[in-house]
Copies of this chain bind each other. A is one copy, B any other.
Amino acid sequence: MREESALVQQFFLVIEYLAVISGGLYGILLAKRHGMDFVGLFAMAFILAFGGGTLRDLFLDRHPLFWIRHQEYALILFGMAFGASFFRSLSDAIEKWLHLPDAFGLGLFSILGTSFALEADVPWFIASLLGVVTGSFGGVMGQVICNEMPNLFTSSPLYATCSFVGSWTFLLLSLILSVEYATLCGIAVVVVFRLAAVRFDLRLPNRSESSSS
């Protein structure tokens, strides 16, 4: 955490790669659960890793889209899906271990989304929502395609909430700190909050009576 901006940039780049890879891994796991072939594995990896950021870029009219600018992200996902197509299933161990990169991915994509929105002079509340969309809508799209109810919307351990709280941490700290530090703090809040939610099974209270199964 030196003040040298170049170091911070490299740190961000590493995290962004991790975020794309973890999004891709989740996509592949989801595709495997539904018995998809290589095309399905790649498509789901693509949708989980790029879905939220694509919505953000379209909503904010940012072009070219981030995965069009960074061809290497799609190539990595292609390689991952290709490799995964040789395995019958991925071990449960991997699925458990995934919470870590996923939390980093949620953190980075959320704060990136919020800060891009801020750059575009979007009001704060909307900026925080765009952070949540960026961080979590890839998963929503993936589950909708697989005809699963998005577990973001039901009482799973906190996910969108971590992203929302981290986005506001970033927004408030950006008033008193440099953007780099505010970004790092925002990401840290999302990551720690999300890992705590998984570890201690934190959920929102839910009084809705489900009439579906």
Binding site for B on A (CB under 8 A): 31-41, 43-44, 46, 54, 58-61, 63-65, 67-68, 71, 74-75, 78, 85-89, 120, 122-126, 129, 140, 144-147, 149-150, 152-155, 159-161, 203-212
Contacts and interface: CB of A to CB of B under 8 A. Distances in A.
A204 B39 contact: yes
| Copies per complex of this chain | 3
B74 A210 contact: no
A48 to B, nearest CB: 13
A24 to B, nearest CB: 14
Contacts of A34: 149, 153-154, 208, 210-212
User: A-side binding surface: helix, strand, loop or mixed?
Assistant: loop
Contacts of A145: 140, 144, 150, 153
